[in-house]
Amino acid sequence: MTDAPGAGPLGRVPSVGDRMRLTIERAAHGGHCVGRHDGRVVFVRHALPGETVDVVVTGQGAKGRYLRADVEAVVEPSPDRVEPACAHARPGGCGGCDWQHAALPAQRAIKAGILREQLHRLGGVDVIDGVPLDRAVDVEAVPGDVAGLSWRTRVRYAVTPDGRTGFRRHRSHAVEVVERCPLVTDAVDGVGVTRTTWPGAEEIEVVAGSGGDRAVLVEPATAARTTGLDPDVAVRGLRGRTWVREVAGGREWRVQSAGFWQVHPGAADTLVTAVREVLAPRPGEHLLDLYAGVGLFAGCLAAGLGPEGRVDAVEASVGACRDARRNLHDLPQVRIHQGDVAAWLASGAIDTVDVVVLDPPRSGAGAAVLDRVLDLAPRAIAYVACDPAALGRDVGFLRAAGWRLASVRGFDLFPMTQHVEAVALVLPPA
Ligand SMILES: C[S@@+](CC[C@H](N)C(=O)[O-])C[C@H]1O[C@@H](n2cnc3c(N)ncnc32)[C@H](O)[C@@H]1O
């Protein structure tokens, strides 16, 4: 491309379709890497840190302050570069995976770097329990996950106007038709949704619970049908149950097919183990499970509190609360409260608690919720985070209130994608 001088201190803003050669500096939150062109930041997909790549500009940020680009050719590859397992995981292809072109250890190193960066930038963290941040946070594989493939038990397919299924391209409504995604489990693939066409459908979700149930949810409901699907597959609105069974923590769970459950088959156990380790609940203690879903943490930690212990679990979804009541009916020390966490805390339902599990949605818990949690003076908070930026912000708030970040473990619950989960332990001022 030509670098003609233009408006603004950064020079002419390159246009979509322009080409340039870049040296990649680092990975950034969002599933891309950062390079620079004439001083302007370029967010590059399908690159890796240290590489020299030829890219094509795919978009511009507000007022041309930054660019988006995708790799066209790798001039000097990183030693971490590998051949993706899926032919659709390529520039301009499927938007579902961000890091298939990196070896799994490199993916995890990238995610650990992003976790640290967000904790530092948004949370002001330099050291965790005396250990410098760069050595204090790692991202671990789910036990037994060696390839990072065949882990999606819940998949949302997009549908083309002519009824074929696939996934959206990056930052686009266009659908890349994909017959066999290597990230989905055999149980999901066996449903057969991708081997038939779905006229009139816009999205199709397939759920395969670890208890053996499989369900299909079609949007809009008028496009749902059962043709071509195994007779044991439930189809929302047409046949079968509205829920699936999951197995975790040595218990069976009922979960609405459209409701929340961790996607990786090893995720629920991994998180429960990590939360139990950091909180070490003691007999007779009072645990607060905020954003409780169908009661995973409440149910798995209640046993450690014994019959004298107490659990209050708070969850907004009516369906999830119905499932939680059913899932935990054998645990008399657990009370399920349906409602908004902030409103429930503000209602003054409890005035003290021993330990807290916080597992908020991607937006994080936020100041109002955290303020009330701190008023309850718990001895420890386990924060389960699915977004490093939200974790960073909330840790920043907690630290400003004098609380201490005692540990953070990252978990690769979503291999090949940009997503990472973390479990943080926050303790009161000494
Ligand atoms: C990340 S999921 C965690 C669920 C559960 N802890 C688990 O591990 O299965 C977050 C949950 O928070 C619930 N939720 C979202 N916003 C909420 C709010 N403002 N108040 C209460 N629950 C909320 C969602 O319905 C969802 O079940």
Ligand 1 geometric centre to CA of 224 (Å)? 28
The answer on pLDDT for 21 being more than 50 is: yes
Distances (CA, A) of 264 to 191, 270, 293: 18, 10, 16
With a 6 A CB cut-off, is 341 part of the ligand 1 pocket? yes
Ligand 1 geometric centre to CA of 359 (Å)? 7
CA atoms within 13 A on the CB side of 74: 18
Question: Mean pLDDT in the chain?
Answer: 96
Residue range 321-342: mean pLDDT, rounded? 98
Residue range 141-167: mean pLDDT, rounded? 97
The answer on pLDDT for 377 being more than 70 is: yes
Give the model's confidence band at 3: pLDDT under 50 very low, under 70 low, under 90 confident, else very high: very low
Tokens standing for 234? 């439930």
With a 6 A CB cut-off, is 293 part of the ligand 1 pocket? yes
Strands of 307-401 (E only): list them.
Answer: 310-315, 334-338, 355-358, 380-385
Q: Is there a cis peptide before residue 143, judged by omega within 30 degrees of 0?
A: no
With a 6 A CB cut-off, is 385 part of the ligand 1 pocket? no
Give the model's confidence band at 228: pLDDT under 50 very low, under 70 low, under 90 confident, else very high: confident
Torsion 102-105-107-109 (CA) sign: negative
Tell me, what's the pLDDT at 110? 98
Tell me, what's the pLDDT at 12? 85
Q: Strand 334-338 and strand 310-315: pairing?
A: parallel
Q: Strand 334-338 and strand 355-358: pairing?
A: unpaired
Q: What amino acid positions are annotated as catalytic residues?
A: 386
Tell me, what's the pLDDT at 10? 65
Domains parsed from the chain with CATH numbers? 19-76 (2.40.50.140), 115-144+262-427 (3.40.50.150), 154-242 (no CATH)
Ligand 1 geometric centre to CA of 420 (Å)? 17
Residue range 132-142: mean pLDDT, rounded? 97
Residues in the chain, total: 430
The answer on pLDDT for 397 being more than 60 is: yes
pLDDT tens column, 261-307: 999 999 999 999 999 999 999 999 999 999 999 999 999 999 999 99
pLDDT tens column, 101-129: 999 999 999 999 999 999 999 999 999 99
Judged by DSSP in three states, 324 sits in helix
Tell me, what's the pLDDT at 317? 98
With a 6 A CB cut-off, is 223 part of the ligand 1 pocket? no
Distance CA 310, CA 302 (A): 8
Tell me, what's the pLDDT at 118? 98
Ligand 1 geometric centre to CA of 386 (Å)? 11
Distance CA 271, CA 414 (A): 13
Ligand 1: residue of 315, 337, 411 to mutate (most ligand atoms within 8 A of CB) is 315
pLDDT tens column, 163-182: 999 999 999 999 999 999 99
Classify residue 388 by burial, with Cβ atoms within 10 Å: 0-12, 13-18, 19+. buried
CA atoms within 13 A on the CB side of 175: 19
With a 6 A CB cut-off, is 359 part of the ligand 1 pocket? yes
DSSP state of 152: B
Tell me, what's the pLDDT at 48? 98
Ligand 1: residue of 270, 290, 291 to mutate (most ligand atoms within 8 A of CB) is 291
Distance CA 66, CA 56 (A): 14
Global pTM value: 0.95
With a 6 A CB cut-off, is 291 part of the ligand 1 pocket? yes
State which ligand 1 atom lies nearest to the alpha carbon of 268.
8
Tokens standing for 127? 């050291």
Distance CA 125, CA 113 (A): 13
Ligand 1 geometric centre to CA of 147 (Å)? 29
With a 6 A CB cut-off, is 189 part of the ligand 1 pocket? no
pLDDT tens column, 44-100: 999 999 999 999 999 999 888 999 999 999 999 999 999 999 999 999 999 999 999
State which ligand 1 atom lies nearest to the alpha carbon of 259.
27
The answer on pLDDT for 7 being more than 50 is: no
Tell me, what's the pLDDT at 296? 98
On whether the CB atoms of residues 359 and 352 are closer than 8 A, the answer is no
Residue range 405-429: mean pLDDT, rounded? 98
